[in-house]
Structure 1
Amino acid sequence: MRSFSLLMLSCFSPLSLAVDLPGSQDLPIVPRMTDAQIVDYRPTAELERIYPLGSIRKISGQLRFDGQVSARGHVTSVTYELPAEHSSTEAFTAAREALQQQDAQLLFWCQARDCGESSLWANEVFGNAKLYGADSEQAYLLLRLAAPKDNTLVALYSITRGNRKAYLHVEQFDAVAPLGDLLPTSATLLRELKSTGELDFPKLTQTPDDKWLRLISRGLNLDTTLRVSVSGPNAEAWRQSLIEQGVRAARMETGGVDGPGLHIKLLR
């Protein structure tokens, strides 16, 4: 995992030889992939913004999704066309890892057809026709930066178009008022666990919290073949509570006290 992360980050550079859209610039929180070219840039503007927390579809002319983050804030976005030697998946993964290394929290993550229709993401969510491609070649992620920047959200959207051109869209949203309590979806927790091999909850330092207990148990029960270790100061209490929520005891073992909060690790 770490060696892959370092390899991917080596593909990034603060400078690029590509010719960018005049007046455009990178967002400091996400380094750009070498030779990627900025093809769309929207400078900071104050807007009312809605970020989906579920697969999107259109019913009777209205966008529908299971959940959302809705707030007013300052939005800045940049869209990169990627060099032919790198895929949209590579760029998306490296951007995600760069943000997670800054302790950003994943709120919603979907890939391919699980996201819904690419045309809706491109035209309705981001207002950028360049991002329209095959539903099977897309990925979307919404993250929340760590405190003291926890009123900032970052949206990533990657796509490969039918002409094989690949794009990565990065959008930063700085809310004008506190965002309050935002929780990830259970499916996102499962995807993160499978992709990174672990889940860290440094703020869950006390006995099991009912909201998080429901989210974590639902995530683990979306794939009943997985086995995990549960670590932290209250690891056994969390393990017993997860069993009470329907996670089979045979799928979990108790680990040590490794740092603050709850830690769940995938057992290969």
Structure 2
Amino acid sequence: MKLSVHSLVLLVLACFSLASFAVDVAGSRDLERVPRMPDAQIVDYRQTSDLERVYPMGSIRKISGQLRFDGQVDARGNVTSVTYELPPEHSATQAFTAAREALQKQGAELLFWCQARDCGESSLWANEVFGNAKLYGADNGQAFLLLRLAPPADNTLVALYAITRGNRKAYLHVEQFEANAPLGDLLPTSATLLRQLKDTGVLDLPRLAGEPDDSWLRLLSRALNLDTGLRVSIAGPRAEDWLEALAGQGVRAARMEAASGEAPGLHLELLR
């Protein structure tokens, strides 16, 4: 079968278009700890040294020209960011979940997790937090997660931001921040603990192997009381002490039960 010159030109252009879509930005690479979704393309890659970085730990909004959020992590260090455009067969939610699960399997600790309108305005995340207009989309199509890596890499944070734009293109932004100085104690938000418990069914806190810690006790009691319909089992070396302490903080005893197990620290499991 013979093709006309016009048809050949169209075929070459189509092949070129497909080939160009599969090519990453020059000089880019994946982050070691976050696997790439199949057929995803790196469309933005940046490396910055000795940068003062602020990560929100609450819904963001702008008041009188200033960004506002309830909490934050701020430090100086080196930042590497990778932005993936996802193929049509993979959603932003799928990529976000796969990245979160991979990091948690490596022992990363969740600090702040928001989804949809709970995050605030997508335009602020895209332009003010990440400085990347590609990440602007519908407020209800976004998710953000800030994690701290497990020791000995616990002075490294990873931020994930997933978004679906109005044109239905989906993106996953992954940012790795290596602090110049020790980050010290960083506590998650109560809403993040609750979201993790409800989404994954478990809450593993291996660092909490001793008697109830006051700061964590307040966080956990607030988390459980954000949804008073939840029931949980509690395991760990000091499970009974935690049960008693949580009850003392206003969590109804009928919502909790002790469980057996060899958990290295505090382990909460959602009772369906």
Same fold at TM > 0.5: yes
Deviation at 1:18, TM superposition (A): 2.1
**What does 1:61-210 correspond to in 2, within 5 Å?**
61-210=65-214
1:46 corresponds to 2:46: no
Paired residue total = 252
Aligned residues: percent identity? 77
Structure 1 residue 44, shift from structure 2 partner: 4.0
Question: Could you tell me which residue of structure 1 aligns to residue 18 of structure 2?
Answer: none
- TM-score calculated relative to the size of structure 2: 0.91
Which is higher, the Rg of structure 1 or of structure 2?
Answer: 2
Could you tell me which runs of 5 or more consecutive residues in structure 1 were left unpaired when the two chains were aligned. 1-16
Post-superposition offset of 1:43: 2.1
- Secondary structure at the counterpart of residue 32 of structure 1: coil
What is the Cα-based RMSD across aligned positions, in Å? 0.9
What do residues 100-151 of structure 1 show as CA deviations (whole Å, max 9, x unaligned)?
0001000000000000000000000000000000000000000000000000
2:33 paired residue number = 29
* Alignment of 1:216 onto 2:220: yes
For 1:207 and 1:101, locate their aligned partners in 2 and report how far apart those are by CA, in whole Å: 26
CA distance in 1, matches of 2:198, 2:41: 31
Q: What is the alpha-carbon distance in structure 2 between the residues aligned to residue 45 and residue 26 of structure 1?
A: 18
- Whole-angstrom distance in 1 between the partners of 2:47 and 2:74: 20
Question: Residue 47 of structure 2 contacts residue 78 of structure 2 at CA under 8 Å; is this kept in 1?
Answer: no
CA distance in 2, matches of 1:108, 1:246: 24
Contact 2:111 2:189 in 1 (8 A): yes
Bigger drift between 92-101 and 19-28 goes to 19-28
**Structure 1 match to 2:258:** 254
Q: What secondary structure does 1:35 align onto?
A: coil
Amino acid across the alignment from 2:130: F
Structure 1 outlier segments of 4+, above 4 Å: none
CA distance in structure 2 between the aligned counterparts of 1:257 and 1:236, rounded to whole angstroms: 13
Long gaps (5+) in structure 2: 1-20
2:22 & 2:176 partners in 1: Cα distance? 22
